[in-house]
Structures are given as C-alpha cells and as structure tokens.
Structure 1
C-alpha cells in the first residue's frame, strides 16, 4: 500500500522576510561607525589584503593552490579562506588573523556547499524536480546548520544559472531551464542559508553564482563564450540572479564566461551599472577561481597588472586565489591608474560582511567542536535527506504498471551503480562522506529483507572508453578488470533466474559538474551493451538512472518496461530509491530541463518561439522548421513526470474572458485521481501572448500547485493572474504588459495541457 507522503518536514523553518538579513538604520549607523574607525587605522596594504582570498586545505577546485598562506595571513594579506572547514582547522587560521596581526581583522571562511554539507541532498537539478519550495529551502537551512557548525560562514551557493544545453556539465548545479521556477528556487535557497539573522550562529552568508549568464555558454562547453541579445538576458537569464539579490543575498560571484565581448570579472556594465546601480545590491562581489588572471587569456590585458585594474574598475571586491589584487593594486595606485578610494570601497564591502556575520564580536563563533559533533548528520537531517530524495525521483515510464515492485519473488539487481557508494552523492558534494551513503542494494535489502531474493551482478563498468577513463581517472570509476563479455554473461545469468530486472545505470559523479561537458549525452556504450543483453532475456526490465543532466534515452524509453530518473540522490539515495521502487512512496517529481531525443536537437526547451514556418506535425510538409531525420519533439517535455496513479484534468474555467490592468483573473480546473493509489500531482499553469511588439514564446510557466489526492478524490485547483504576471520586455526594452489576446494552459506538464482564451484590454 502506498503511504501518504509526508507533507511537512519534521524540522520546521521559521518564516523569512522578503529581504533576509535586512539591516535597520540603527544597525547600519553602528556598523558604519565601527568600520569607519577601523579603516582609519588601516594601511593601503592592509586594505588590499582584505580583497585577497586564498585556498587552503582539503579540496583543490582550480588550477592554482595558494602558497605561503600562514605568512600572508600574519602580514594582513588575506581577507578570506577557501576550502578549509572543521572547527579545529578554521580556528588555527583564525587565530593567526586575530592574534598575530596588527588590527586583528578576522577571516571569512568560504566553501562550495552546493547540495548539502555533510548530509548530502540530491543535486540541485534533482531538488528542482520536486517543485517543492519549502523542502528546497529546508535543505539549504540544514546545509547552513551543518556548515556553520563545521567552521564555515560563507557558502558559494545557490547556483542560479538558467541552462538549456544539457551538454554543459554544470546544469547539475542549477534548477534547469525555466526562468520563473528558477527565480522562486533562488529566493528559497537564499532564505534557507541566511534566514533572518546570523545571531544564532546557524546561518551562513550566501553567494549567488555565476553572475552572469554562465548557463548559456556556447556548445555547452565549460568556461566558454556567451553572446546574447539584451532582451534575452533580461527576459530569460537575469531574473533568477535578481530574485536572489532581492531575497537579500550577502554576496555574488562573477562567472568565468565573457558576455558580449567582455569577461564577467571585468564587465563594469554587469557588476556596477546593473548589479549595484539598477538592482541596488549592497553586498560584495568575489570572482570565481582565478577569474581575474584568466582575463589575460581572454585578451583583456597582457599581465595581471592590466587585468587587476580592469577587475577593480568593473566593481570586483575580492579576488579568489589568483592574487592579482594583492600583487598589483599598490603599484596601480602609485602609478595613478587606480584611486585609493576604489580600494576603500571594496575593502568596506568585505568588512561589512564580516561585521554582519558577527566575526568582529566573536571571531571563533563558528569554531565550536561540541556543536559540530551534535549537529552534523543528525538523524533528523538524514530523514530529511531521504524525504528530499524521494520527492526528487521522477517516474519517466511505467508500462503495464510494472512498478511498484512486490516484496516477493526474485530481483536481478544489475549495473555498475547498483552497489556503488561514491556516485550516490554526485558531483560538488564537497565535504560529504561517500562512505556513509546508502547504495541501492543496501536500500533494497533494508526494505525487503529476506522476502525478496536479490541476484546481484555488476554487469558492466560505467565506461570502458579509454579516453573517458583517462580524462576522469581510473580512481573515480572503480572499474572491474574482468572482460566486458564475462561481466555481461554474469548479469544475464542473474537475470534468467529472476522474476524481474532492475538495472542501475548512468553517469559517474565525475561525468557531470564543473569541467564535465559531454558532446554525447547518452548512456555510455559499455552500459548500453549490458542493457541490450538484459533486454534479450525477455524478462521485464526496470531502469534506474543516475546522472547529472538530461540524457538521450531513446533506446531506453523504447525498451524498458519502467524507468526512474533518480539523479544523484545524495547520502540516503538507496533508501529513497527502494521506497519508490516498492511503493512505500508514490513518485511525484517532474523534470525541470527538457530531455531531447537526440543531441542534435540541442538547445531544446519548452518556452521556444515560433518561426514563420513552424512545424506542425506533418512530416511530409518539407518547407517547415524541422529535421529530416527526427521530429522536433523532446523525448520528455519540461514538467513531465508520472505517478503510480493517474490524474485527469477537467476543462479550464475562467472568471472572465477579459481583464483590465490591475484586475485579477481567476483560473480553475478540477483534477481527479482516477487511479488505485493515493498520490501527489504538480498542477502547472502556463500562458501565451498571441501578438506582441516583439515575438513571444509559445508557453511560459506562471505558477504551479502541488496537491495530494486520495484514490478517487477530486479537487478544484485555483490560480490567479493579473496584468503584472503578463509583463515582458517590449520593443523599447520596457518591462510592461501589452493588451491583446492570450491563452492560458493548465496541465500535468508543458505538453499535456488544456487551454482557454482571454483578452487583456486597456
């Protein structure tokens, strides 16, 4: 029997204001007085030192490792540290700063806390598939509690880049392709990390990344060029950054890419004119790893002297690891090319962050060993990780009600990821301990016990491709040395003596994330060969996917009896997957990035525009915008995801056929659970403007609601929109609405919808 999903986490979140961590006038006055007094004592060298972040400790996330760190901290040449955590490690470096420097200015400690700190949640693309903003916020809250207990006070998250090219490995770190949903998730994560106050020591400062447009890199190749129109920037790509800034994010990270000919870290229009003057951001901006130095290769200067000036002029406040500021700003001042006031502004912003975090009052407030022991990986956190993983798993196919499985009979559990631990927590899992993760085999054994006979075989390596092995490193892949045919034969034998096959396949953690772009995004051939051999046995086959991006799954979709997209589900992956497999949890997640049929369709996203010759399904109609060898359709459209039950939608009803500016349009439909199981449905609302001063997309997500229905139950689902929801950037780049005809769509995904028409009048 499927259980009703838990509607609320056991760890409740306090309500957050629209602007988290807001500073009152009295607090601002007190902070200004403190920092004015401090800066009046600082030398130019000490001010420049505050703009320098060094890398120390456990992880190497870039091409350069900092040297002479202790010495530089003693000299006052360091403002922040990257990649150091644990109370003991942080305390040792903080002691140098506050006990062995002239002015005793504490250090910031930043770390890539992307989808959890020690307790690892599903990758962000998986979390987004839950469409559960409260849960996503809660994962950030837990991450903040663990990170702050482990010495960290600043996290490089959320990553809010809109991504419409799944070849780009970093699509795993974001929320997918949709602007509206991405903006809601950005806000939720900032509020989860920062809350309303740092006073309780269990919050951290968020750093929104990567500013800006990084998800649109050409060819899906990391660190590459971005070039787009101003309209597309403001309409599609910039809103999630703006939402994070409006939510009160304390810091922003510049991106590696260039934007219309100027690298982000040297782009004054981006960092000053837009971010600070137009959006009113008053936090500080840090570069990504060595991004200032890399502007030399971009062609923005011949030496670090040149690009340090470009970055400071643009509005960059802190240099991550490259030490271009440390090595060059003093000379630039002497040469009259940089004004001391520019350094003062950047220094003030960094000092303000430290003040807000309470580090001047207590530099060791994040260095409590007892708190770390009591907080990290608490049972409640692991329960939350299990729940988050279950809510993130997408049912892509379920022919003949193959799932859920019964806790009887025998299962052939096959695949290189079936008894894997390291890959469960995925890329960018930072401080996560993969040895504490739960494998699928362990999860099934725990749930089914001795009631199910499990016949396990690895069946294949993740990849046997020599080039890929060389790129990733054999240590990442844990490859079996046996010949491929021997491993497949073992798996086939296990399948033949079992009632059903459960094949756990996909990517390794190193095949997605930073520096992990792929030109082909299908299941690696070694695993494809395994799946085809298993299919030939004639046994029903369930495919469990683990991956950090949408994959091309045409063969899998045609040949699997059922398929679950589990992403990289985190520490509790195996337990969550077992719960879904055996019906302890009815899947409800829906994808937030379109799955193409073929890599040649990329970029492919639901909110595209029509051409003057749109393809409308007649493949013999030659002179239309289409391919000769494949349809335009995705394999799985944005918002797609099945359930063990079925839902039917009634007609879309409107409160009026016309609305005026300022009026509300009520939209409703009746959703009925027509299946045998209780379940949760994500009801999605889209609109389309039929005519505009500039062309408009065929669909735009405007809202959604998650509803729980018992078998046979119906519910009227209501939405409200107004003219404010219909705004866009018009021919004059004014953000406004235009009167005219609209369609409204309500449905289970962006493709399967019912529609109604209305008019916006003057």
Structure 2
C-alpha cells in the first residue's frame, strides 16, 4: 500500500487541509485501484447496526469495500425517538475493519444528526436566528463541532436551511424562519462554525445543508408532502440560504423527500445538477435523506428500486442513505448500459475528496478524550439569552425584583428535557437546571421567595399561590415532542389547560408574566389578554432556564427579535411579511381591511417579523443617503450607495438594538414585496448613547431573480427603510437610472 494515501497505524500526525492539487492527486491514486463494485460501495451509507448479527453483517460489507459511510442513528425519526448514545469504541472498530482489512483501506465517514448541540445543547435553530447575531452562532456551532468530533463524529446533517411560511410544520423548529436574508446569514454562520478554517483538524465537522429543495413548502404544513413552487418563488425565497451555504464552502448537501411541481427531487437532474452544481457552484457531494431514493416508488415516480437507483445517480445524488438501492442495482445497470459509469466515478470522487478534506485518510480513528465545556456553556447561555424575545411588557413590570414573592406555575416549571427541544440526541437533561431551580437560585440571598407546588397540582390548588404572591410567572408552551420531524400540528395555540391557568392567574388581580417555551412561533391570541408581560423563551437548550431567569430579573436585557411572524391563529396560514401588495390598498397579508382579508377576524399578526422589545427604548433619526441616484451601469461595475440612520438609546439602561434594513422596488417587471430585508446590525448602547448605523446597497441587493434563475436589476424608484421591525415607516427614496 502507498503510505501517503491512507493511514495504517493507530496514531498519526494531524495535518492541515492539503492543497486541492495534492488532494485530487491522492483521490486519483485511490480510484485507480478500485473496481466498479468498490466505487459503488463508497456511495452506500448504512444505518447504525443494532444487534450483534447486524454488526457482523456490516463488518463483512465493510471488509469487502462495500460501505462508504455509517449514519449514527437506527431510525429515520432519531430526533424524536430515544436514540442510543454515540459509542466511540464501536465506531473505531468499524473503522479498523475499513482501514486495515478492506482491499483499498478507505476510511468510513461517520455521520450523525448533530443539529443544535451535542453534550452542550444550544438553542433550536429558529431561536438562534432570532438572536440576529451570526458571529455568536458561528462560535457556538464551533463548540458543537468540537464536542461531536471528540465522539467520533465526522459529519453532521446540519444546518437545515429550509425557509418556511407555515408554523404548523414541525420542522420549522430546525430552520431559520421565514426570511431569505436571515436564512442566508444563519446558513453561512452555521457552516463556518461546523467546518472552521480546516475541518481536518480533529475539532470540526463536515457540514450538510438540507433539505434541498423546497421541503419547507410542504402543503398544509404536513411533513413529506408535495410542494408547488414557481421558479420565481424558488429563486427568490428558497434558494438564497442554499446559495449562502455553498458560498461558505459547505462540504455536503442533503436532497429532500418532497417533489416540486410533481417531480421528486430524488430524480431531478435540473435541481441536483443544473441548479446546484452548474448555477450555484457546489463542489461537494449530495447525500439522500433517509430512504428517500427508494421512496420514489411510493410516490409513483419510479417503478421499482432498480429504477430509483438509475434515476437518482443520473440526477446527481452521490450517496444513498440506508436504502441500499445503489449497492444492489448500480453495477448491473452499468452492465446494461442504463447508467453511465462516469456518473459513478464522479460520485465516488466527490465522496473521497470530502474524506480527504476531513482528514480521515490521515487520522481515521478517534482517540478518547474529554472536552472542557466551561466556555461552551457560557456561550450557550449567551446565545439563549440573545435568542429570547420580549413580546409584551405592559407597565414595565419586567424586570422583576429579587426580593419579591413569586408564584411560579405551569407545566414547564420542572421540565429539563423539554427545554432542549427536538433533535438533541446526546444532551443530558440531568445536568440541566429546571426553570424552578434557576429562579430559586436567582432570588436566594435577596429576600425573595418562590411559591410553587407539586408536579400534579390541580389548577384550583394554584389559586392560593396566586393570591399569596406579588407577581405570577407562568411557564407555558409546547413540549419538544410536538415539534420536529413528523410532528406537525393543526392547531399551534397553547392547550386549553394552559389557557385556563392564565385566565385564573389574571383573575387573581396579580401581575402575570408568561414565559413561553416553544419550538415554533405559537399562537398566543388565547392567552395574551391575560398576561402583562410575555417572554418567548423558545427551546433554548442547556442554559434555557438560567438565561430566562437572567432576563426576568434584569441581569440581562432582552434583545431578540422575531425571525418569523407570530400569527393570531393557525387559520391565518400563510402569513409572512415579505409579500407583494394587492391591487386594492392593503398592507399585504398584514392588512386588516375586512373586504380584503377576513370579515370574522383581525388579519394582522399578533407580532410582526423583526419585532422585539427591550427594557430600554431606542429612537431612529431620518434615513439619509450619500447619494440618492445611481446608474445601473455603476451598480454593475461594483459601485454602491450608503444609507444611514442614527440610533439612540433613549431609556435608562444599557441594551442591544437590532437596526433592520428593508427595501421596496416600487415598480418592476415582476411584483415585488412591500418590504424585503437586506441587512441588520446589532449593537449595544449605553443610556443616552447614539451611533450612526450605515448599510451599503449594491447590485446584489437591488435586484431579483426571474423564473429561469436569471438575475435582474431594473431602473426606477426604491424605498429604503431603516428601523426597529418590518413595519417601520422610516424611509428614504433612491433612484436607479
């Protein structure tokens, strides 16, 4: 065996990512020795074996060079099922068979759904997006990668960057919300955090942007269902986050279950090759979702598993996740002339390149080691606090005082696991403080008192707690089991018992604070009237309880803003801010005109996109521009114009504000949204402090995509807004001539 090609001992020197020429030379040298069957083996991913018999069968396939990867999960719904913890030694044993007993000594790549945390659990992605802090997200995802890499995980099936307009869909929890610009910033930060500057350093992972493409548009919020997406909507809403992930250098992309306009993604060469590779420039490899290749039979888009394999390899799916269709059928399909061997060669080449780039040929084994989580937990608390959104604070009853007597009630008072959210396979809830513990610790030594009851207290038993307190804090929301994969809801409002509890607390005459732990922008219309203050705490992980307590007592100041519209009711779906304007006067879906929206319900959202309060207040000056006209030719040549506004802290405490930039293309060949986010800047302001916030607008900011994916900037007037949320009216007009 040629020593530079792979690792044959048990310890090795870490090395930097090789230059591409060297990497390609190493890939070529390996492939020259491989048979067609062995190349197909690299395209085959096994699920985690569960029994001794399955382990032996897996080892025999590995020994024959017929396995390229193992997913460290035993079911398609690992995010909701009780999944086994990672076993470093077991996966080292699989690797030993691959590296030391197979003919070509090619290491396996181990993948796992490390979505928003490993041992340290960070906020769900939807919550992380509400922090509007990509730099902090990148740091946190770097910590996630370090912990996972120490547990013999090479590759994560994250980030999910599916844009979603329907909060009934359970997997909205895993994505960045409803806005393509925010989605792109989150995608870029997550990829950079997971992969670092050198994913071969033993502390980072290969990332995977998923689910490509349009999965978040499943009709009715039902998981796995069909989608109807025009080219115009696809390029302007769905593609931007994937484009950003590709630009950030994402190693892999996962194809989605769904169809678009009647064609399964698993067979679409247009989406998987023409768009993803030729237009977006993706150079890594594509992995299918769990058995999604074979599921084309159930979809009625392929006759049998044999045709599934034929269609998917031609479309551009490089690795088959667990269905075995490639392993069983590709060799004979090549012999029959139905599959071009070049497609298999290219898929194998892409997979080997990522294995080399991840450092697996030089360092295939994982050495048992512990990771100091001190800094990780600190960052988890920072991100959790910045993710939480103050939705209401009538009479400024927040922050609370630590010498108050507080009635702490609700189904999430003692919860630990539920604070993690879905897709937390390796977090330990026993090490996570409950909300009760965090609140009790906060008042200790300050003269305060927490009143609560047993886990099975009846609502009537809580009444005395309400009356004996200075203020009532209700820990409400939704359990993590009702969000995530295959966890869609028809009704996204809080349950009837929680509504009754809020009503009883309100009837006590005490001030009521609602802390909402949730995995989607839940409908709060039924409880909002009974609450004086509302903190959306999301499912924010290991430090959720501590961060919420910090905010309630003013040790930190809320600064999160909504990454998606908060509807009044599920019946208002779809409701998102960046829509086109009606031919009759109405503020898009946010308008309340009874003839243009609903006659039986206010249609405006309870809380709009980009909304969030603070314990201080901020003012914005009028928007100014360094020039109000710019030519199309100047824009094409890289020239920009700069718009600015002065933001001032007009309150009594230091706080962070997110200044948001929106545009509107007033007249265009295609109807354009009434608001479209093009930037945000988050900064801290002392009382009385003011800062000038500036944004540059250029060619890439002022245009849009047509149905065929071509980009267009048109002359005409643009309205440019800088303000506190998407409803700001603080604007200046500019002209492209």
> Which residue is 2:256 aligned to?
255
What displacement does 1:659 show? 2.2
**Structure 1 residue 180 displacement after superposition:** 1.1
Distance in 2, matches of 1:536 and 1:704, equals 41
Deviation, 1:456, is: 1.2
Which residue does 2:571 correspond to in 1? 600
Which of 386, 395, 413 is the aligned partner of 1:418? 413
Pairwise mapping of residues 335-484 of structure 1 onto structure 2 (< 5 A)?
Answer: 335-364=336-365, 367-370=366-369, 373-375=370-372, 378-450=373-445, 451-457=447-453
Maintained 8 Å contact 2:665/2:719: yes
Please identify, of 438-447 and 32-41, the stretch whose mean Cα deviation from structure 2 is larger. Answer: 32-41
On the 8 A contact 1:688/1:744 being kept in 2, the answer is: yes
Structure 1 unmatched runs, 5+: 1-20, 60-64, 459-479
Report the CA distance shift for 1:230/1:22 in structure 2 as closer, same or farther (over 3 A): farther
State the shift of 1:559 in Å.
1.8
1:629 Cα deviation from its structure 2 partner: 1.1
* Secondary structure in 2 matching 1:175: coil
Please give the alpha-carbon distance, in whole angstroms, between the structure 2 residues aligned to 1:552 and 1:334: 57
Partner residue of 1:307?
Answer: 308
- Residue 558 (structure 2) pairs with residue 587 (structure 1): yes
Q: CA deviation at 1:698?
A: 0.1
1:701: how far off? 0.5
2:542 to 543, 567, 571: 571
Alpha-carbon contact 2:517-2:536 (below 8 Å) kept: yes
Q: CA deviation at 1:242?
A: 0.9
TM-score by length of 1: 0.89
**Alignment: residue pair count:** 702
Structure 1 residues 276, 664: closer, same or farther in 2, change over 3 A? closer
* 1:8 paired residue number: none
Are 1:492 and 2:425 an aligned pair? no
Equivalents in 1 of 2:706, 2:345: separation in Å? 40
Tell me how far apart the structure 2 counterparts of residues 56 and 90 of structure 1 sit (CA, whole Å): 10
Residue aligning to 1:760: 736
Shift of 1:734: 3.0
Shift of 1:630: 1.7
Alpha carbons of structure 1 residues 121 and 75: separation in structure 2 relative to 1, 3 Å: same
Q: Shift of residue 721 of structure 1?
A: 1.5
For structure 1, which segment, 342-351 or 67-76, has the greater mean C-alpha deviation from structure 2 after superposition?
A: 67-76
Rounded Cα–Cα distance in structure 1 between residues aligned with 2:640 and 2:418: 48
Decide which of 71, 77, 86 is 1:82's aligned counterpart. 71
2:444 counterpart SS class: helix
Q: Secondary structure at the match of 1:726?
A: coil
CA contact (8 A) 1:535 1:559 kept: yes
Give distance in 2, aligned partners of 1:703 and 1:531: 38
Q: How far, CA to CA, are the matches of 1:182 and 1:141 in structure 2? A: 19
Pairs within 5 Å for 1:196-215: 196-215=197-216
Equivalent residue number for residue 490 of structure 2: 519
1:692 alignment partner in structure 2: 668
The 8 Å contact of residues 424 and 438 in structure 1, kept in 2 or not, is answered as no
1:660-675 matches, within 5 Å, as: 660-661=631-632, 662=634, 663-675=639-651
Deviation at 1:633, TM superposition (A): 0.9
Equivalent in the alignment of 1:168 = 169
Please state how far the C-alpha of 1:626 moved relative to its aligned partner.
1.1
**68-77 or 674-683: which moved more?**
68-77
Q: Confirm whether residue 707 of structure 1 aligns to residue 708 of structure 2.
A: no
| In the alignment, structure 1 residue 189 sits paired with structure 2 residue 181 | no
Matched, 1:722 2:698: yes
> What SS does the corresponding residue of 2:295 show, helix, strand or coil?
helix
Residues 66 and 321, structure 1, Cα contact 8 Å, conserved in 2: no
- Match of 1:301, SS state, is coil
Q: Distance in 2 between matches of 1:439 and 1:510?
A: 18
Change (3 A) 1:620 1:355: closer
Separation (CA, whole Å) in 2 of partners of 1:161 and 1:287? 16
Secondary structure, in 3 states, of the residue corresponding to 1:533?
A: helix
Q: After superposition, give the CA deviation of every residue in 1:90-119 in whole Å (9 maximum; x if it has no partner).
A: 212111212222222110000111111111
Question: Whole-Å Cα distance in 2 between the matches of residues 51 and 620 of structure 1?
Answer: 53
CA shift, 1:306, in A, is 1.4
> Is the partner of 1:553 in helix, strand or coil?
coil
- Equivalent-residue separation in structure 1 for 2:72 and 2:713 (angstroms): 46
Structure-to-structure mapping, 1:54-73, within 5 angstroms: 54-56=46-48, 68-73=57-62
Q: Does the Cα contact within 8 Å between 2:17 and 2:198 map onto a contact in 1?
A: no
- CA gap 1:118/1:620 in 2 versus in 1, 3 angstroms: closer
Cα contact 1:171–1:513 (8 A) shared by 2:
yes
- Mark the CA change 1:743 to 1:256 in structure 2 (over 3 Å): closer, same or farther: same
The Cα offsets for residues 657-679 of structure 1, whole Å up to 9 and x where unpaired, read as 32223343222222221212111
Q: Distance in 1 between matches of 2:707 and 2:522?
A: 37
> 1:35 & 1:707 partners in 2: Cα distance?
46
Task: Give the Å deviation of 1:392.
Answer: 0.6
| Alpha carbons 1:522, 1:552 under 8 Å: kept | yes
Q: Provide the secondary structure at the position in 2 that maps to 1:457.
A: coil
- Any conservation in 2 of the 1:126–1:568 contact (CA below 8 Å)? yes
Say if 1:524 and 1:230 are closer, same or farther in 2 by CA, change over 3 A: same
Q: Is the 8 A contact 2:407 2:465 kept in 1?
A: yes
Distance 1:619 1:186 in 2: 31
Q: CA RMSD in A?
A: 2.1
Q: CA deviation at 1:32?
A: 2.6
Residues 678 and 540 of structure 1: is their aligned pair in 2 closer, same or farther, counting only changes over 3 Å? same
8 Å CA contact 1:22–1:196 kept in 2: the answer is no
Q: 1:703 aligns to what SS in structure 2?
A: strand
CA contact (8 A) 2:419 2:542 kept: yes
Deviation (angstroms), 1:620: 10
For 1:550 and 1:22, locate their aligned partners in 2 and report how far apart those are by CA, in whole Å. Answer: 43
SS of the equivalent of 1:41 reads coil
In 2, the alpha carbon distance for the partners of 1:197 and 1:621 equals 54
1:549 to 497, 511, 520: 520
SS at match of 1:292: coil
SS in 2 for 1:188: helix
Instruction: Give the C-alpha shift of residue 445 in structure 1.
Output: 1.8
Distance apart, 1:47 and its partner CA: 1.5
Structure 1 residue 76 displacement after superposition = 2.1
Q: Are the aligned partners of 1:223 and 1:256 in contact in 2 as well (CA < 8 Å)?
A: yes
Question: Could you tell me how far 1:434 is from its partner in structure 2?
Answer: 1.8
User: 44, 49, 54: which one pairs with 2:36?
Assistant: 44
1:57 to partner: Cα distance: 6.0
- Counterpart CA distance in 1 for 2:592 and 2:230 is 34
What's the TM-score once normalised by structure 2's chain length? 0.92
- Residue 31 of structure 1 deviates from its aligned partner by 2.5
Aligned residue number for residue 469 of structure 1: none
- CA displacement, residues 225-271 of structure 1 (integer Å, 9 cap, x when unaligned): 11111111111110110110111111100011111211111111111
Instruction: Report the Cα distance in structure 2 between the residues aligned to 1:723 and 1:374, rounded to whole angstroms.
Output: 45
Q: CA, structure 1 residues 374+239, in 2 after alignment: closer, same or farther (shift >3 Å)?
A: closer
Matched with 1:473 is: none
